[in-house]
A and B are shown apart, each in its own frame.
Chain A
Amino acid sequence: MHGRKREAKEVKHSSARVEARRRKAKLYAELSRECFARRNQKRYDEETLALCQKLLEMNCELYTLWNHRKEYLEPILLGSSSDAKGAAEKELKLIEACLQRNPKSYCCWQHRKWVVDLANRLPNAEEAALDRELGLCDLLLSVDERNFHCWSYRRFVCSLHKAREPEVELDFTTDKISQNFSNYSSWHYRSALLPEINKVTSFEDLVRGGGGENTTTTTSSSSVGVKRVLPPHVLDEEFGLVKQAFFTEPEDQSSWLYHAWLINHLVENEKKFGSYGDERVGERLEQEVETCNEILEIEPESKWPLLTLARLLEAQAARAGGEGSESSAAGLHDKMRQLYRKLEGIDPMRRGYYLDAIAAVGNEEGG
């Protein structure tokens, strides 16, 4: 019962309410018994389908009844008869009505996917049908911009839609983010689209810094392995976008989490390949340190720039250590410890995390 207010006990336990619920339960149970009896007899006549539809409209989570409809629809949608398209459209209308009432129903979304997938294979399938599906996504995302079922369905439709290039979708996320920097779903989608657009071979590699040879970077052609990373100009744009978000909503974690990923991507790839272009990583880290400091000048107790700063210093210390400059690493470690101690006071709920972070700095120093 997500988000439904608790009723006052005198209302909930009143004889009128108890009686009404009994009646409702009895009607529901009768309809359900009838539907399932017919479903188990494998009846697909109009009357049966209409009865089942009625029950689904009352309770769209009845996956078995959607399965019943799939059994009825499958031969039609796999056949070549002229009414296949009409049957699909009729079904989509029913599902849409259910989704409007229950936009987070796993089985409704799944059934829709199933219908659209088969309808899209019909010889007379049109792209306009997929445009309509994207329209439905737009509509439902305008009601709830975080509905992950809907985002997932959108990606599915785009995978069928030839004209829907990932670049177009990236623009869509930019619009959504500009409307609301807290739209984490959009930030997420960007993180999945960027590798696709930039032909980064696998997301796993992107996150972790994968192997393979390189073509796209600023470094010399002889350097090995920087291929599977985002090109620097793309990173520039992304850092620019998160910076806007920082200044608009500094307390919102969405953009800071995205930023943490960009930094991690940069640092991990450099570690792995020894080259995201050394100069660039150093410069970039320095630039991001400055951004954090700028925000901290306005909001000295702000958690996210403090935490981000600590991690940037960690990355700088690791690089400095690599170059053998131990004293500068030690200085950075001191600053990190101070920042984590400050965070412990500002954000006491995550005290355990900050204490572990301080201990990790210490270990690193000892080792």
Chain B
Amino acid sequence: MESVGSLVLRKEKHAEYVVEFQKDKAGYEYVASEYLRLSGIYWGTTALWLLAEDEEGKEFKERLPREEVVKDVMACWNGDGGFGSAPGHDSHLLYTLSAVQVLVTYGALEEELSGEDRERTAAFVAGLQSAEDGSFRGDKWGEVDTRFSYCAASCLTLLGVKPLESKIDVPKAVEFVLACRNFDEGFGARPGDETHAGQVFCCVGALTLLGALDRVDKDRLAWWLCERQTKGGGLNGRPQKLHDVCYTWWVLSSLQMLGRLHWVDRSKLIHFILSCQDEIDGGISDRPDDEVDIFHTFFGIAGLSLLGYPGLEPVDARYAMPARTMKELGL
């Protein structure tokens, strides 16, 4: 196992943390995170997939029974084709994507959703596009955000919609994303909104999946992204902000899609991520010595995977899912 200084990735600890979080259904963290539970399932399970094997050569993902994971996901399915964050919560594009991602990773999409159901989910997603400007809403209440452009492109592709033009207006979707581009070549949530590394991931990801990444000035954008690396080795999301493990993912995956991952200092970044581990209870936090959570645990592990940290399953930068899964799907 690669060590940076005295630091190594505590795979066993992190797996225990994820499994404990997922199983302790009466715990406060679990109960109070119902507004994003389905995303939590996605972060936790994908983290286990990426952690690959334990010291005995057993896959970490086996520690959460597949049928339970799938059952938890399907409990959030609503008749309108979308998924809510938890059972009884309204359908939203964010959680619909998380649900589809988990089902695809577990190879359960077709057994859980019939052809008709998948069609309904695709219609739910496509129905959130504005005919006027090509943007996507998160749900029927109308919040517009380039996060949703990404969610829609990813979700429809994972659902097997081919070509995307058969369901959505691709040129308009592309134009909306480009209308959110800023002076620094980065992207914001809506036209006029400030660039943010998380939003850059969504827009670069959307343009990649929509086949329009050539519309971006790769050198200028990738340079802004590599300037996110701070003196401490971690990455921030915007100029003059603190570094934070979650930006490891947003920045690195964007750089990977732009073909310029080598513009950041790999070993310093690995050191920063590893220094954010809770070595006793497992899990990864935003910064050293902060409280860990499932979100940062996933993005820390996914970032390490992109950086080629040994012993991890490779991750696909476009979908934030195991590369193996995407390969099997031919995506």
A contact set with B: CB distance below 8 Å: 1-7, 9, 12, 21-22, 24-26, 28-29, 32, 36, 39-40, 59, 61-64, 67, 70, 106, 110, 113-114, 146, 148, 151-152, 155, 182, 184-185, 188-189, 191-192, 203-204, 207, 252-254, 257-258, 260-261, 264, 348-353, 356
Residues of B within 8 A of A113 (CB): 143
**Once the chains bind, are B240 and A182 in contact (CB under 8 Å)?**
yes
Listed A/B pairs (7) with beta-carbon separation below 8 Å: A1-B291, A6-B285, A22-B28, A29-B26, A63-B85, A63-B90, A260-B184
For the complex, give the distance between the alpha carbons of A257 and B260 in Å: 19
* Residue from the list A6, A207, A261, A356 in contact with B290, Cβ < 8 A: A6
Decide: B289 and A5 in contact? CB cutoff 8 A.
yes
A67 to B143, CA, bound (A): 12
CB neighbours of A6 from chain B (8 A): 278, 285, 289-292
Residues of B within 8 A of A32 (CB): 31, 34
Find out whether the CB atom of A253 lies under 8 angstroms from the CB atom of B265: no
Asked if A25 and B28 sit within 8 Å, CB to CB, the answer is yes
- CA separation between A12 and B291, bound complex, in Å? 11
Q: Are B28 and A253 in contact (CB under 8 A)?
A: no
Instruction: Assess whether B290 is in contact with A1, with CB atoms less than 8 Å apart.
Output: yes
Say how far B251's CB is from chain A's closest CB, in angstroms.
Answer: 13
Closest 7 CB pairs of A and B: A191-B183, A25-B28, A349-B265, A352-B262, A1-B291, A261-B183, A61-B35
Query: Smallest CB-CB separation from B89: which chain A residue?
Result: A64
Closest to B189 in A: A152
B244 located at the interface, meaning its Cβ lies under 8 Å from any Cβ of chain A in the complex: yes
Query: Does B178 have its Cβ within 8 Å of any Cβ on chain A?
Result: yes
Is the pair A4, B291 in contact by a Cβ cutoff of 8 Å? yes
Residues of B264-300 whose CB lies within 8 A of A: 264-265, 268, 278, 280-281, 285-287, 289-293, 296
Residues of chain B within 8 A (CB-CB) of A62 are 34-35
A258→B224 CA distance, assembly (Å): 12
Which residues of A have CB within 8 Å of B27? 21, 25
Task: Give the contact stretch, choosing among B165-173, B191-199, B206-214.
Answer: B191-199
Whether, in the assembled complex, B238 has its beta carbon less than 8 Å from a beta carbon of chain A, the answer is yes
Tell yes or no: B14 within 8 A of A by CB: no
